[in-house]
Amino acid sequence: MVQPRILKFGGTSVADAAAVERVTGVVRGHGGPRPVVVVSALAGATDALLAAADAAACGEPAGTEPSVQSLLERHSNIAQRLVRPEARDALLAGFEAARREILQLLGRIAHEPDGRPALRDEIASYGERLSASLLTAVLAGAGVAARYVDSRHCLTTDATHGRANPLMPLCVERTLAILTPLLDDGLVPVLGGYIAATADGITTTLGRGGSDYSAALVGAALDAQEIQIWTDVSGVLTADPRVVPGARTVASLSYAEAAELAYFGAKVLHPKTIQPAMDCAIPVRICNSRAPLDPGTVVTAAGEVRPGGVKAIAHKGRVTILQITSTRMLGAYGFLRALFEVFDRHRTAVDVVTTSEVSVSLTVDDTASLDGIVADLRRLGTVTLEPDRAIVCVVGEGLRTTPGIAARVFATVGDINVSLISQGASRVNLTFVVEEARVREAVCRLHQAFFEPARSVA
Ligand code: ADP
Ligand code: ASP
Ligand code: MG
């Protein structure tokens, strides 16, 4: 049987009528077998919905009406321009029903503190439900046999609202059951990304930027031929283009390289996207919906080494370092387990870890439970905090084999204070922490040193 191909479009790719038209062109012209479309909410829609939910939770539901109204108008304006008249009325009636439902949910959120996380997800889910129904109608009008599919019926998760974890066997079973008959009939399913549901049908979300992850989950469930992530840049670039305007496309990455880059700040891929693709050996291709002919980046198991060793640099700000010092660590066992159990209990991920004889330094970016974490850690030793830090991550399969990269990296940022270094854990990255105020400078200098040889400072 011909394996399907997943086409995922991010928020900027459907930001307005011109962008949605480009998406239509990509879907019509993609030329691959059995396409399945996964789409994000319109750019800014999730921010607007979550801001409304938070304002309503503070007792201001009426004040949120204009923002909900203008969000629905953005959808209606695109529909007016791109949806055929015969399909438009039904779609606009659906938008109006959604507006009323959102306002109703916003009215409840202040009075139901216990239900707030679930209500927040339910409210946020309208972003992708609206964009997917809009795109379905536009595609249908352009001659694509598109069918809206409620992704909450396909992707099943636990009840961790805001960052739910997929229950993979159920995702596979339900996605296959719903999508296979459609694909067999020659239809093009269109699903909203980011949203899912518990086994009992309660709406959940996969975390901000999670539509990439949805595409990977659907791709894994269908054993797709390829997962394409269509965004607003031509692939994974050598650095964040908002920091390094001259960053350029990396033609190919291994799964390990892409996972490290995504995890350490390359926003172009949600950090969880690579795992399902890697588990099923499905290539992930990152393409530009504004420049569809650009080759973009392909991510596969193959670990091609770039001369010089480094493929890209990622960075991630708003990180806090915690250092725990205790002489009880000396020669003891069980100490690290006790230490990491604290983070487990507070459901907080640790990013970078280093240890010495009597101390452990580590970084977290989620500080929601920091007070509780610090209180628990104080039972194990002395705790110091360094807020306002940033992680820099230099990535390349070549780090395994090229001598001298670390020396070059640290010579390049020699006058910037480095507080924590980790190399060797994954063998494709060198990670270190600097003050947030100097991270842009560090990334720009490293980019010059490794990717702009004519102006190299190393
Ligand atoms: P989408 O809406 O398509 O999901 P995102 O905004 O989530 O798009 O991700 C694309 C953005 O990621 C780019 O516009 C770019 O600013 C940012 N980005 C950060 N680091 C990188 C990188 N290394 N390569 C490409 N883009 C990056
Ligand atoms: N719409 C969601 C967000 O803004 C998911 C995504 O865009 O991937 O976070
Ligand atoms: Mg994204």
DSSP assignment of 133-162 equals HHHHHHHHHTT--EEEE-GGGT-EE-S-TT
What residue's CA is closest to ligand 1, atom 12? Answer: 268
Candidate of 8, 12, 39, 40 to mutate for ligand 2, largest count of ligand atoms within 8 Å of Cβ:
40
Gap between the Cα atoms of 287 and 246, Å rounded: 18
Helix (H), strand (E) at residue 129: helix 116-141
For residue 291, the one-letter residue type is A
Contact criterion met (CB below 8 Å) for 150 and 129: yes
List, as one string, the DSSP characters of 352-410: -EEE-SSEEEEEES--TTHHHHHHHHTTTSEEEEEEEEEEEEEE-GGGGT-TTHHHHHH
Q: Which stretches in the chain have pLDDT values below 50?
A: 455-458
Task: Using the CB atoms, write b or e for 369-395: b if 16+ within 10 Å.
Answer: bbeebeebbeebbebeebeebbbbbbb
Gap between the Cα atoms of 409 and 193, Å rounded: 38
Quick check: helix, strand or coil at residue 254?
A: strand
**Residue 271 Cβ < 6 Å to ligand 2:** no
What residue's CA is closest to ligand 2, atom 1? Answer: 41
Candidate of 233, 234, 289, 290 to mutate for ligand 1, largest count of ligand atoms within 8 Å of Cβ:
233
For residue 129, the one-letter residue type is R
Gap between the Cα atoms of 363 and 390, Å rounded: 9
**Residue 192 Cβ < 6 Å to ligand 2:** no
Beta-bridged to residue 299, according to DSSP, are 253, 284
Candidate of 240, 267, 288, 429 to mutate for ligand 1, largest count of ligand atoms within 8 Å of Cβ:
267
CA of 41 to the centre of ligand 2 (A): 6
User: Which residues does a 6 A CB cutoff place in the pocket of ligand 1?
Assistant: 10-13, 40, 209, 231-233, 236-237, 239-242, 266-268, 312
Gap between the Cα atoms of 217 and 173, Å rounded: 12
Gap between the Cα atoms of 283 and 225, Å rounded: 7
- Judged on CB neighbours under 10 Å (0-12, 13-18, 19+), 93 is exposed
From the CA atom positions of the chain, what is the Rg in Å? 23
pLDDT at 456: 43
* Domain annotation for the chain: domains and CATH numbers: 5-231 (3.40.1160.10), 312-451 (3.30.2130.10)
CA of 106 to the centre of ligand 1 (A): 31
CA of 25 to the centre of ligand 2 (A): 22
Atom index in ligand 2 nearest the CA of residue 11 equals: 7
Ligand with an atom nearest the CA of residue 215 = 2
